Each structure stands twice: as C-alpha cells, then as structure tokens.
C-alpha cells in the first residue's frame, strides 16, 4: 500500500478529487486530498494574508500530523509550486513527485515566472476592490469549457467548489534549496486537450534532477483531468506505485 497525497490547484478544493479517491483506494492505497487554506471547508479562512507559504504549511503540517512516509505527492496546476516547496521541507518523506498539468518551478520562482500570463490576473485583481482577490477563470465555449470541463452537470459541480485565489499565492517564491529534494523521482502528466490562449507549458528536460530519464505521460483531455478522465488518471497514479 502506498500513501497518495493529492493537492488541488488554484481556485479548486479537495472535492475535485472525488472521482479519483475511490479508484485509488480500491487499488489498496491510502489517499488524502485536503482542501488548502481558503478553499472548500476552509473557505472562511480566505484572506489577503493567505499565500503560497500558507499552502506549503498546510501540506507539510498534514504530513507531520499523519506521520506520513513514502508519499506519492501529486500537485495539480498551481499546486506544482506547493508540492515543490513542501518536498523541499520534508524530502525524506516523499517517494515521488507528480506534476499533474502543473507549474514546474525552479528555486526562487513565482507563479508569474513559470506562467507569465498570471501577471495579467494579478493586475486585474489589484485594480479591483480590495486588490487581493483573483476570481476563477470564466467558462469558455467548448472545447475549452471551465478548466477543460464541458459537460453541463460537471461544470455546475465544478463551479460550486471554486473560490477566489489570493494574489499572494502567485507572488511568493518557491523554495528548492535543499539538495536532498533532487533525489526524489518525478513524473509529469500533461493534459493535451485544448488549452486557452496564453497558457504555456515549459518543456520537460530530458533528465530529471536525480539523473534518471524524464518520465512524461499524456492524457487527451482538458486541464481538470481528475474530473474528465478520472479512471485514466487513477490508472497512471497506480502505475507509479507498482
């Protein structure tokens, strides 16, 4: 049995993994899918002081609280930043890092460095009342939909779990200054369906930081593959534990 810790991306909550969790559990794994501060059952904690460091503390705190070890740490989208800094804090507890259609940072980078279009969202937020809230991206016509989700019932369900993203999350830098984090194997899962204009993906270097060949898998769907291709995503995650 492996422990799989699923970390949701910007605007989402831990509920987005609802279709994936039972599939992983039925394969014999322990699965945790917390909502980060400001989302889901923690939405009342949303505020301008919430940042990337807050979310890293959420993940590291859960790992310590549950005394987790040999964790397969999965980060979707923005959470690629979160799992990177979290692994930097507790590399001895992480067995594998999975970047799920995620931002993949270097030490000291922010979300804007990894995904420059993020600056436009920050600019819009700072010009609004309060100056710290970044609202969820709007739904677009198919095939883009809402984060790649196009089925009306799924769109409604997804919209029900979305919250604003604090600007601070997109401005705080990632910490990857612990050499031990480089030993952790990585897998990149790319959603290769339609992408909105302005969204880019950095090429994955052919060699991982630990010296082994890069491992990149693809899912032919939009960004929120945990909703649109939950079975296929679960199969890939299980494959990592074999």
Dist. CA 225–CA 229, nearest whole Å: 5
Tokens of 175: 């910490």
CA angle, 87 then 96 then 218, to 5°: 115
Residues 6+ apart with CB under 8 A from 2: 29, 30, 70, 72, 95, 241
SS3 166: strand
Residue with tokens 């929120």, as numbered in its chain:
224
Catalytic residue among 2, 13, 35, 77: 77
64: left (phi over 0), alpha (psi -120 to 50) or beta: alpha
Given a contact cutoff of 8 angstroms between Cβ atoms, the answer to whether 146 and 11 are in contact is: no
Dist. CA 123–CA 164, nearest whole Å: 15
Dist. CA 206–CA 204, nearest whole Å: 6
Q: Is 77 a catalytic residue?
A: yes
Q: What are φ and ψ of residue 98, in 5° steps?
A: -120, 115
Tokens of 72: 């397969």
What is the residue-wise DSSP string for 187-221? Answer: EEEEE-S---TT---PPPPSB-TTSSBP-EEEESS
Catalytically active residues, by annotation: 77
């Amino acid at each position: 049995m492996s422990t799989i810790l699923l970390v949701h991306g910007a605007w989402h909550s831990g509920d987005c993994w609802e279709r994936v969790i039972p599939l992983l559990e039925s394969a014999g794994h322990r699965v945790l899918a917390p909502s980060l501060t400001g989302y889901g059952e923690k939405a009342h904690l949303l505020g301008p002081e919430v940042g990337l460091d807050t979310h890293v503390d959420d993940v590291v705190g859960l790992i310590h609280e549950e005394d987790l070890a040999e964790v397969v740490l999965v980060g979707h989208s923005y959470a690629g930043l979160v799992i990177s800094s979290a692994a930097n804090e507790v590399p001895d507890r992480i067995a594998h890092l999975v970047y799920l259609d995620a931002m993949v940072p270097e030490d000291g980078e922010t979300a804007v460095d990894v995904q420059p279009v993020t600056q436009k969202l920050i600019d819009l937020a700072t010009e609004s009342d309060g100056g710290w809230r970044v609202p969820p991206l709007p739904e677009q016509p198919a095939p883009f939909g809402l984060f790649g989700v196009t089925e009306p019932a799924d769109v409604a369900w997804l919209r029900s779990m979305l919250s604003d993203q604090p600007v601070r999350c997109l401005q705080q830098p990632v910490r990857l200054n612990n050499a031990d984090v480089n030993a952790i194997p990585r897998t990149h899962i790319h959603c290769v369906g339609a992408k909105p204009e302005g969204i880019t993906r950095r090429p994955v270097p052919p060699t991982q930081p630990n010296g082994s060949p890069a491992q990149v898998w693809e899912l032919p769907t939009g960004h929120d593959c945990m909703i649109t291709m939950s079975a296929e995503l679960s199969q890939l995650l299980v494959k990592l534990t074999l």
